[in-house]
Structure 1
Amino acid sequence: MKIDEVPDRRTRERVARSILVNGPSTAAVLAERLDLTAAAVRRHLDQLVADGVVEPRDQRQAGHRGRGRPAKEFALTEHGRETKFEQRYDDLAASALRFLQETVGEQGLVAFAEKRAGFIRERFVAVAAADPTLSPAQVLARVFTEEGYAASVRELPLAGGAVGEQLCQQHCPVSHVASEFPQLCEAETAAIGEVLGTHVQRLATIAHGDGVCTTCIPNPETREKVTR
């Protein structure tokens, strides 16, 4: 790498990190946030797009739209998240968990996984109370999204014509580590079942090579009928 390329690389990392922290952003917003010229930001964005780190999207606009084409906003791709911000920590996290397992044993690893999944128990009640219109699955989606999982909910047909909900996590910040330590996924699943007061089942996980983590969640009416 040429010496004069180093500042450009660092600036591109600043642009990418700003998008990570603040969400999809336009070139104009990035320029103001990072105190750069609009031309410089566009140049770095072009390179980040070429590298597959970010992708342009049509900007979502609320309310009345003005004249002209809406500005493009730029969002991190999955490749960008993995190569820029996650994998550099995966080896360290995996090494720490191996050390924990070797020195404390399986019980210590399980205890760690359960403690980490505590955010589900801690946030579920607060989020549900803040917005009573949300279904339990939608509450969980919001809790997981706040933790970086990019979660959503979709309807799931069940036996007998019943309808449940499926919690879908498009992103998992610990997927590379969880592939070696499934206790992390198991603890999350147990915590979901605990806050819902019913058994839930994970149908797929990113850690096992699936494209998305999915969890089947029966709706309260269905659970009531089953227990009668």
Structure 2
Amino acid sequence: MSDRTKTRLLTALKTSGPQTAAELAKRESVTAVAARQHLDSLSAEGLVEYEDVKGAVGRPKRIWSLSREGHAQFPDNHSGLILSLLGGLKDLYGDEGIDRLISHRENEARASYAKALSGKHSLQEKLEALAEIRSREGYMATVQADDDNGGYLLIENHCSICAAATACQGFCRSEMTLFIEVLGEGIELERTEHLLSGGRRCVYHVRQAA
């Protein structure tokens, strides 16, 4: 299987979650037979896994998803080094050192995000600019309208600082505070899915306050 096709299938499962071979085939414009062959090859490499789900009628559907090794194909900013540095920082300076690091990172991001959102007026424009800069940072971010609840969903399909956030969830709290600040006054933001809490991704529901 070509590396390009492999990357496309892995990315499709990463960004859109578990899917059947037929759904992947339609998405990637290949035949269902080719998609199944590629998925079998990825399964042999340990990068994907499947579950056969029974429906009300007919044969069970085989649902494909990324394995732990498959998720590891996406960069996490050198997790081993990050954990080592965080451990050393805490040993040397205690929790205060970690807090100061988080604050420093937040200040740098605030300036960068504020510049990216400058001149954006509507909430949608601001969110799209925020998603673009977050994607450049490795979060694979997108924006969708939330037709059921109003407002928008800021979806991050990957966490590029997952190792650091796992070791210290202050990074996650810091990011939520930062989003509210750069999006402006009168914004309500709620995290409805959280990768570190067992979710497939991080999702934020954002809307103008009533």
Shorter-chain-normalised TM-score: which range?
A: 0.5 to 0.7
1:168 alignment partner in structure 2? 155
> Which stretch of structure 1 is more off in the superposition, 120-129 or 179-188?
120-129
1:206 is displaced (CA, Å) by: 1.3
Pairs within 5 Å for 1:19-58: 49=42, 51=45
The alpha carbon displacement at 1:188 in A equals 0.9
Cα deviation digits, residues 168-206 of structure 1 (max 9, x gap): 100011113312210111111111111123452322221
For residues 21-45 of structure 1, give each alpha carbon's deviation from its aligned partner in whole angstroms, at most 9, with x where no partner exists.
Answer: xx9xxxxxxxxxxxxxxxxxxxxx9
Residue matched to 1:102? 91
Tell me: higher relative CO, structure 1 or 2? Use CA pairs within 8 A at least 6 residues apart. 2
How far off is 1:132 after superposition? 6.3
Native 8 Å contact 2:165 2:172 kept in 1: yes
Question: For residues 39-188 of structure 1, what are the structure 2 equivalents within 5 Å?
Answer: 49=42, 51=45, 79=69, 82-83=72-73, 85-86=75-76, 89-118=78-107, 120-129=109-118, 135-156=125-146, 157-158=148-149, 163-188=150-175
Which position in structure 1 is the counterpart of 2:21?
A: none
Sequence identity of aligned pairs in percent? 22
Deviation at 1:85, TM superposition (A): 4.8
| C-alpha distance 115-203 of structure 1, shift in aligned 2 (>3 A) | farther
Contact 1:193 1:199 (C-alpha < 8 Å) held by counterparts: yes
What is the aligned-residue RMSD (CA, Å)? 3.7
Matching residue of 1:27:
none
Measure how far apart 1:149 and its partner are.
Answer: 0.3
Task: Report the count of equivalent residues.
Answer: 158
Partners of 1:151 and 1:119 lie apart in 2 by 19
Contact 2:76 2:163 in 1 (8 A): no
The verdict on how the C-alpha distance between 1:217 and 1:177 changes in structure 2, with shifts beyond 3 A counting, is same
User: What amino acid is the match of 1:207?
Assistant: L
- Normalising by structure 1, what TM-score? 0.55
Pairwise CA distance, 1:115: 2.4
Q: Is the 8 A contact 2:191 2:204 kept in 1?
A: yes
How far, CA to CA, are the matches of 2:108 and 2:88 in structure 1? Answer: 24
Q: Could you say which residue in structure 1 is the equivalent of 2:62?
A: none
Question: How far apart are the structure 2 equivalents of 1:96 and 1:192?
Answer: 26
* Other-structure match for 2:194: 205
Change (3 A) 1:146 1:131: farther
Kept in 2, the 8 Å contact 1:120–1:143? The answer is no
1:69-92 residue CA offsets vs partner (Å, 9 max, x unmatched): xxxxxxxx98456257548x3232
Give the letter for the 2:45 counterpart.
D
Write the distance in 2 (CA, Å) between the matches of 1:173 and 1:120: 14
Query: Compared with structure 1, are the counterparts of its residues 84 and 155 closer, same or farther at alpha carbon in structure 2 (3 Å cutoff)?
Result: closer
Describe the superposition over 1:79-110 as per-residue Cα deviations: whole angstroms up to 9, x where unpaired. 456257548x3232112212222322222212
Larger radius of gyration: 1
